[in-house]
Amino acid sequence: MKSMLFAAGLATVLLFSWGAQAQDRYVEPPPVLVSPDLSAPWVMQLRSSPVLAQQRTQQAVEYRTYQRARNARERNSARRDYRPRHQMPVSGTQPAKPPQRVAFIPRASEPFPLNERSWRMSDPKWLPQVVEYETDQSPGTIVVDTRQRFLFLVLKGGKAKRYGVGVGKEGFNWTGTEKISNKRKWPDWHPPAEMIEREKAKGRILPVKMEGGPANPLGARALYLGSTLYRIHGTNAPWTIGRAVSSGCIRMRNEDVVDLYNRIPVGTNVVVK
């Protein structure tokens, strides 16, 4: 009799324990408390946040739309230029080959991380943020500090939107004041003849023209500075932000140059110092 009572009691305990565990599966876990330092906006940019993922998805969709429009223009142009075979000129020359497409590939000797993953883990000060900024420049002006490697978009109330940038390497840095003379999405790249010769001497062959796209060194947007060859533009090498690596242009992350592009009009003053 005692053994039967003991067994019944044990079964009751086990059943109660199992029921409690089953109920625990549906109990909402307690909230995770995060220090304010770890939830700062610049920290949230270091991870693949939904906002950043959405920005990159929008860029991909935008580029595909841009590419389809370009292809349609080329097809229409080919139809207009079509000539029957009997009207084609006869010669021994071969048709011109399309320009070679190359991406920016840094050499191992260059003093910066060689992949985007290591760049993401670098100093977060290069990520965009609103900062206190004292200047005599009027709101809407762009100020590029080549020493600190920051671009400031002057705002009202003594503040500025600050972006990390890449600047001209030694011998290619410059200062002055220009105006934004043109704005382009997914710009084509036409390397200057001097750059082609300079890179050829290093063993790197650059194309005469490279169509806009994700592999293009000018990135998603370009802001042209006056009548100069310099631009504020995106990049296909975001790990170079914060470095002196360009031939005088100001380079930004694609996400950042798209944001700047949408904020400023043609005619904006740009001060490079």
Burial class (CB in 10 A: 0-12, 13-18, 19+), 220: buried
| Phi, psi of 234, deg, nearest 5 | -75, -165
* 3-class secondary structure, 85: helix
Please indicate whether residue 249 is annotated as part of the active site: yes
Point out the catalytic residue in the list 233, 243, 251, 253. Answer: 233
d(CA 210, CA 191): 9
Point out the catalytic residue in the list 127, 151, 225, 249. Answer: 249
| 131 in Cβ contact with 145 (< 8 Å) | no
Q: 52-61, long-range: CB within 8 Å, 24+ apart, which pairs? A: 52/255, 55/255, 55/258, 56/255, 59/220, 59/254, 59/255, 59/258
| Phi, psi of 200, deg, nearest 5 | -65, -40
Please indicate whether residue 190 is annotated as part of the active site: no
d(CA 148, CA 206): 30
Residue whose structure tokens are 């011109």: 96
Residue type, 59: Q
| Phi, psi of 179, deg, nearest 5 | -120, 150
| Phi, psi of 193, deg, nearest 5 | -60, -35
| 151 in Cβ contact with 232 (< 8 Å) | yes
Question: What is the number of other CB atoms lying within 10 angstroms of the CB of residue 174?
Answer: 11
| 123 in Cβ contact with 228 (< 8 Å) | no
Where in the sequence numbering do the catalytic residues fall? 233, 249
